Structure 1
Amino acid sequence: MKALVLTSPGAIEIIDIDKPKCGEGEVLVKMQAAALNKRDQFIREGKYPNIELNSVLGSDGVGEVVELGAGVDKKWSGQQVIINPNRDWGPDKDVQSREYSILGMPSHGTFAEYVKVPANRIHRMPQGLSAEEAAALPLAGLTAYRACFHHGKITHGAHVLISGFGGGVAQFAFQFSIAVGAKVYVTSGRPEKINMALEMGAAGGFNYKLPNWYKNPWQTKGGFDVVIDSAGGDQVNSFLKIMRPGGRVVFYGATNGLPSSIDLYRMFWNQITLQGSTMGNDTEFVEMLRFVEKHDIKPLLSSVKPFDNIVESFNEIAKPSKMGKVVVKF
């Protein structure tokens, strides 16, 4: 079968590998669509821990169950399913175990014609979504769901700021916050992305490339209860300046690196929380799927290409103009 493999440091290519065989408690899924994540690009660039060569990449995917291992309920045979990329989260719902990993290295992932996963990793797709739309959900949707509701505790009427609108997790955090009736604002370095957010229901948007952009939100909007961020870096201190007392800054990445300093004085005086977050537990994955179905949320797709063009699709991930998820179909 065809699969996208990390063949050497910095190199990915489609090669032929053996089709996997089901063991006890496992299912074989014939892939229909898979989505790319920054995680995949970080692995390609060698910027991810514990790199293992010859791994099939890919965490997100949807497909048809075509084979059942011993002990698997026959109800899954022939079903179209979405795959939970979590592996070994562990019993503590608040934090993942030491054995935790994500599908798509070290275990073979979804960028292949077939993928073998434990039966407890598959779920019914949310109704109303195409295979391509559903494939965009797992990793980014789960990360956003936990950041918004477990850590951010976003509810109706909350003032929320989503930074870097346009990225996969950010788009879901925006849509999820809108769905519960929060008053949602965004930041972006591109005016067209801010305009799209406004068309989708944002209460306002700010260009973070402008000097002192954060002064306007504080002076005119009264500050924020929650900020959802992926970049980290020195902009963290800008967020601290626009938080309401008791506010929460939740970050799920640090692409801008470490801040040169942290305004601890402002944090302790205003009772502000700076909270790290990553992915989510299995219960939250099920809750996220139900939430998407209940609120009829449609993932934003930047592009959908044939699997044979997946290598060039990797180049789209880092484009500043990208808006939404990059998906391949089989």
Structure 2
Amino acid sequence: MTSVAVPAVVRGLVPSPDDDTFVVLRELPVPEPQDGEAIVAVETFSINRGEVLMLSGPPPGWRPGLDLAGRVVQAAADGSGPPEGARVVGQAPLGSWATAVAVPTSALAELPDAVSFEQAAPLGAAALTSLRMLRYAGSVAGQRLLLTGAAGGLGHFFVELATLQGARVTAVVASQERGARLLELGAEALVTHVADAEGPFDVVLDSIGGTSLTTALTKVAPGGLVLWFGQAGGEPAVFDMYALGTPSLARIVPFSFFNSGGSYADDLATLVRLVAAGHLHPEISTVADWAETNTLLVELRDRRLRGNAVLRISG
């Protein structure tokens, strides 16, 4: 790379209640690749609601960002991964909200021309989590699944992937309007409150925590599986085992795609193949210039977006 600095989004000052400036743009040194890393010129990145929550803690200057799509401008020196010039989708350790980033080749997959950078950007955290939860759950053909917080990007990926395998999915959403697309993707039922879901369910998947998880636990069949993969509601999960009764015989597993095993590159390649074949459809609520990052972070925080938000790098 010939430039001496790379524009990147970093954590700004901790916002006051009247300040929604989560991040600011800074000029940073050109990334130095380590062994097994390629430099990717980022074309698009996707932001997830979980990243909004992550931004509440780090100090100013911290670099957010996992998902990215772009072109390899410097191939890995060890010969691994995609060649220079390849169109790729990737999962950065952090710092993907930048014009260029070093990415392990074990977390890069090539993109065919049929898959746009906008389609590819959300195939990171949201789609990887969905794919890996389904792998952990095992065969779900004919099984009943309950998913909370389903109106976001992950929920759309999960419903489509699960129904492709023959699962019967009930999705919990804030409103019927926000969940309408989930029915088109194969969801069997929509409810606006966990308590209204008609169980029992073989697998319960909760990303909200707090009372949502407590209620969801009462919906799982004895011997079933509960995957708890987030706390988007901002409240700690409470387990009242005395109130659960027989569902307490279920397995309760804290889940994260970071430590769920397997190769990011292989899983990303699987997701790319499904998109290219028309079997998986990233639900993108908005595509905007990355100058709008703060605006979209606020909309994600306030749950005004449905599906994924994608930012295009400019300048």
| Category of TM-score, reference length = shorter chain | 0.7 to 0.9
Of 5, 15, 35, the match for 2:10:
5
Q: Which residue of structure 2 lines up, in the alignment, with residue 42 of structure 1?
A: 53
Residues 64-110 of structure 1: per-residue CA shift (max 9 Å, x gap): 0011353235851110111133xxxxxxxxxxxxxxxxx22xxxx11
The one of 207, 217, 227 aligned to 1:230: 207
Judging changes above 3 Å, is the alpha-carbon distance between structure 1 residues 263 and 284 closer, same or farther for their aligned structure 2 residues? farther
Moved more, 294-303 or 124-133: 124-133
Once the two structures are superposed, the pairs formed by residues 1-330 of structure 1 within 5 Å of their partners are 1-10=6-15, 11-46=22-57, 51-73=58-80, 76-85=83-92, 103-104=93-94, 109-125=95-111, 128-150=114-136, 152-208=137-193, 212-214=195-197, 217-218=198-199, 223-256=200-233, 257-264=235-242, 266=244, 271-279=249-257, 280-283=260-263, 286-287=266-267, 289-291=269-271, 293-294=273-274, 296-330=279-313
- Counterpart contact for 1:35–1:136, Cα < 8 Å: yes
| 32-41 or 291-300, which deviates more | 291-300
1:243 Cα deviation (Å)? Answer: 2.1
Paired residues of 1:3 and 1:112 also in contact (CA < 8 A): yes
Cα distance change on mapping 1:80 and 1:245 into 2, 3 Å: same
- Normalised TM-score (structure 1): 0.81
Partner Cα separation in structure 2 for residue 19 and residue 313 of structure 1: 26
Deviations 1:229-280 (A, max 9, x none): 1012123332233222321111101233234442357455663111110013
Q: CA-to-partner distance for each residue in 1:7-64, whole Å, 9 max, x for gaps?
A: 4334410122232243543311110110112233123222xxxx35423321100110
Distance 1:269 1:226, change over 3 A: closer
159 and 53 in structure 1: CA distance in 2 versus 1, 3 angstrom threshold:
same
- Give the match's secondary structure for 2:133: helix
Change in Cα spacing, 1:191 to 1:39, as seen in structure 2 (3 Å) is closer
Q: Under a length normalisation based on structure 2, what TM-score does the superposition of the two structures give?
A: 0.84
Which AA in structure 2 matches 1:224?
F
Q: What CA distance in whole angstroms lies between the structure 1 residues aligned with 2:251 and 2:269?
A: 28
Shift of 1:129: 2.6
Deviates more, 1:258-267 or 1:72-81: 258-267
Task: Give the match's secondary structure for 1:136.
Answer: helix
Specify whether residues 130 and 238 from structure 1 end up closer, same or farther in structure 2 by C-alpha distance, changes over 3 A only. same
Distance in 2, matches of 1:164 and 1:292, equals 24
SS in 2 for 1:72: coil
Q: Is the 8 A contact 1:35 1:325 kept in 2?
A: yes
Q: Residues 127 and 154 of structure 2 are in contact (CA less than 8 Å); yes or no, is this contact kept in structure 1?
A: yes
> Counterparts of 1:129 and 1:42 in 2: how far apart (Å)?
30
Question: How many Å separate the matches in 1 of 2:77 and 2:232?
Answer: 43
Aligned length: 296
Point out where structure 1 has 5 or more consecutive residues left out of the alignment: 86-102
Please give the alpha-carbon distance, in whole angstroms, between the structure 2 residues aligned to 1:264 and 1:154: 30
* CA distance in 2: counterparts of 1:224 and 1:127, whole angstroms: 40
SS state at 2:263 partner: helix
Determine if contact 1:188/1:206 at 8 Å carries over to the other structure: yes
Distance 1:74 1:287 in 2: 14
The answer for the alignment partner of 1:99 in structure 2 is: none
Instruction: Compute the displacement of 1:297 (Å).
Output: 0.6
**Matches of 1:74 and 1:248, distance apart in 2:** 36
Contact 1:81/1:125 (<8 A) preserved = yes
Check whether the contact 2:204–2:217 (CA below 8 A) recurs between aligned residues.
Answer: no
Secondary structure in 1 matching 2:287: strand
